[in-house]
Amino acid sequence: MSDKTFSLEVGSDGVAIITMDVPGETMNTLRDSFATEVRDMLGQITQDSGIKGVVFTSGKPNSFIAGADIAMLDACQSPEDAYQISRGAQQLFDELANLSVPVVAAIHGPCLGGGLELALACDYRISSDSDKTVLGVPEVQLGLLPGGGGTQRLPRLVGVARALDMMLSGRQLRPRQAKKFGLVEETVPLSVLVEVAKGYALKGKRKKVKPNLKGAEKLLESSAFGRKVIYDQAGKKVLAKTQGNYPAPLKIIDCVRTGMEKSASAGYEAEARHFGDLVATSESEALRSIFFATTEMKKESGAGEAEPLPVNKAMVLGGGLMGGGIASVTALKAKVPARIKDIAEPGLQNALAYTYKQVDKRVKKKQLTPVQRDKAMSLLSTTTRYDGIKDVDIVVEAVFEDLGLKHQMVKDVEAHCGEHTIFASNTSSLPIGQIAEAASRPDKVIGLHYFSPVEKMPLVEVIAHKGTSPETIATTVAFARKQGKTPIVVQDGAGFYVNRILALYMNEAANLLLEGEPIEALDKALVKFGFPVGPVTLLDEVGIDVGAKISPILEGELGERFAAPAAFAKLLADERKGRKNGKGFYRYDGKGKGRKPVDESVYQVLGLTPQARLTGSELAERCVVQMLNEAVRCLEEGIIASARDGDIGAIFGIGFPPFLGGPFRYIDAMGADKLVSILQGYQARFGDRFEPAPTLLAMAESGDRFHS
C-alpha cells in the first residue's frame, strides 16, 4: 500500500486528475501534514504546460472529504498554534484557487468542513446526485468556525444570509439543495461524475461569480445597510438560541462582517485569529470530547467481543406515537422492512401517516424525489394479527406500561416468531428482568428505550438484564445505530440511567415551585444554564400524568430521595396533564402572543402565591446538583459502564448542556470537592435527598477526576 495520500494522473485530453485517498482510513480527512504533498503536486501542474485543467476527486467509494482531522487540534498548545493551522489552510487553498488552469471538485459522499472549503477554492463544483452526498460547514457543532477561508468564500458564492445560515446551524445540504443555492454547478449520476467534471475543467478559468439572489434577498445584500440588518438579526437569533453559552456563532458573524465590509484579507485574518481563540475555549474542548466519544462508541459492539447478527426484517408492536416513530426510523434510516402490528386499523393508519408526513416533507424540501418517498413507504406493512412475522429478526414492543400486557406480548412473539427473534421492550420504567420472567428464551429479551419524538431524539438506551446474551446486546446496538441512533448500554434497574437522573432534577424543580418560585423564573434559569427547555415546560410536554406514574416506581425501587412533591395529586385532580389535554402549567389556548403564557390559575390549584426569592443561578444550581449526584450513583452501581457513557446519555437523552461536556466532565471542571460542599450545604437545609454519593466524597479527598 502506498503511503501517499494524493496521486496525479494526466489524461490525453490534458485534464489532470488529483485523487485523494488517505491510507488505512474509510473516510478522507484533512491534516496540516498534507500541505507539502499538495504543494508538490500543484508545482507539477504549474510546470506542465500540457495540462489544461484539473479535477479533484476522492479515491474513497463513499467519501469526498469529511472535514479536517479534529485530533490535530488537541495537539495545539496555544491559540497561536491553532491560528497557524488556519493560516496554513487558507494559504494552501489560495494556491489551489490561483492555479492558471481551472480546477473542478468532483464530489461524491460527505463534503464537509475543510472538505467544502477545499471545494470552494475550486473554480467549479460538480456533485453526484447520491443520497450519500452532503455538503456543509458543521464546525460550529465543535465550538469552532470554518478556518480554511470558508467564512470568506461561502458568502461570496451563495450570499451572506445563506452562508450565515449554513455556518451558524451546521446543517448539511443535499445535492439538489446545493444546486439551488448555487453551491454546485450540476448534480449528476455517479457514473458520469468525473467525465462531467472534466468537461468543466476544459471551460477555462471561471470569472467572478455573483450569488443567485432575487427579490428582498438581493435588495438587502446589495447595500451595506441591508447587510447590517442581516448581521444584527443573525446576532439576535444566536443569543436567543445559545443564551450566550457558545462563543463560536458570534465569531462567525464577525468574520463574515469583517470580510464583506472591510476586505477579504481582513476577513481571512479575523477568521484565523478567531479560530485560534476558539480552539482554546472550554466550550470547544467539551464539544470535541463529545465528537471523540461518539466516534469511539461507533466502533464498539456494546458486548465485548460479541458480533451482531444481521437484522433483515423488524416488527413493531403498537401503532401509537412511539410505535409509529420507531417504525419510521426503521424504514427511513435503517432501510429495514418493518411490519407494524396493532389491535385496530386506526392505530395502523396513524403509524403509516406518521412516516408519510415525515418523508413527504422531505419531498417538498426537494431532499427526496416522489419515487424515493414511495420506495421508503414500501418498506412498511401492517397487520392486526401475528402473521407474516416468522422470519422477523427483532420485535420492538411499544405498548402501554403494563407488566401483564408486556408479558403477553413476550409469549405471543415467542409463539409466532423464530427462535432467533429478539424481543426488545421500549419500556421507560419497568425493569427488563421482570418482563423477561414471562419468556422461555430470556436471553433474547432486552430493553430498547427510545425518547420522544423518536425521529428527532438521538439517544436510545439498550438495557440488558442479567440473562440477556452478549449476542442479543450486540445485535440490538447495531440495529439502533442503523436507525441513526447513538446507543448506550445500561444495566437493568428502575428508571435505567436517563430517566433516573432526570427524575431528581424534575423533583427539585417541583420543590422550588412549591416554595413559591415562579414558573417562568424556573424555566428561564435552566434554559440560561444551557438546557433546551426548562423543567416545568418539559413536564408539560412529557405529561404530568406520566411523571405521576413513574415517581412511585422509582421511589419504591430506589428510596425516599425519589419521593415526588405533593404537587402531582393536586394537578391531576384538576385534570391537568399538560400539552396532551391542553391544560397544564402553561396555557395552550393560543391567546398569548409569542411564547406560551403561564396558566396563572395553576398557582391557586397548588395553594401558593408565587414570589421570586432566589436568583436564576441559585435555581439552576439546586436542580442541576441533584442530577450530577445521581449520575455518580448510577456509575457507582454499574448502571452505566463509564463516565463517557454517562456524559453522552445525558447530552443526547435530555439535552444536558453540550458545551459543558456532560455531567461527569462538568464535575471534573467544577471539582468534586466543590460539588460535595454544595450538596452538604443543601443537605443541612433540606435533608438527605442531597446526601453526596460515596464516590464524590472519596474524590473530594483524593482530588481524582472522572476523565483523565
Q: Out of 221, 283, 455, 461, which one is annotated catalytic?
A: 461
- Is 283 labeled as catalytic in the residue annotation? no
**Contact assessment for residue 37 and residue 4, using Cβ atoms and an 8 Å cutoff:** yes
CA distance 374 to 357: 12
CA distance 334 to 443: 24
- Cα dist. 110→148, 164, 275, 289, 355 in Å? 17, 20, 23, 22, 26
Could you tell me which residues come within 8 angstroms of residue 170 by beta carbon, excluding any fewer than 6 positions away? Answer: 136, 137, 138, 139, 140, 141
- Cα dist. 13→46, 198, 284, 498 in Å? 17, 9, 47, 60
Could you tell me which residues come within 8 angstroms of residue 482 by beta carbon, excluding any fewer than 6 positions away? Answer: 311, 333, 334, 335, 336
Tell me which H or E stretch contains 175.
Answer: helix 175-181
**Contact assessment for residue 257 and residue 152, using Cβ atoms and an 8 Å cutoff:** no
CA distance 98 to 82: 24
Cell of 584: 397544564
CA-based nearest residue to 322, from 67, 538, 542, 128 = 542
Residues constituting the chain: 708
What angle is formed at CA 158 by the lines to CA 156 and CA 164, rounded to 5 degrees? 85
What is the Cα Rg of the chain in Å? 27
CA distance 486 to 305: 19
φ/ψ bin of 607: left (φ > 0), alpha (ψ from -120 to 50), beta (otherwise)? left
Burial degree of 626 (CB within 10 A; 0-12, 13-18, 19+) = buried
Coil, helix or strand at residue 244: coil
Q: Where are the beta strands (DSSP E) in 418-505?
A: 422-425, 445-450, 459-464, 486-491
CA distance 442 to 620: 42
Could you tell me which residues come within 8 angstroms of residue 436 by beta carbon, excluding any fewer than 6 positions away? Answer: 410, 442, 445, 465, 467, 468
Q: Where are the beta strands (DSSP E) in 36-123?
A: 53-58, 103-107, 110-112
What angle is formed at CA 441 by the lines to CA 437 and CA 446, rounded to 5 degrees? 70
* Residues annotated as part of the active site: 461
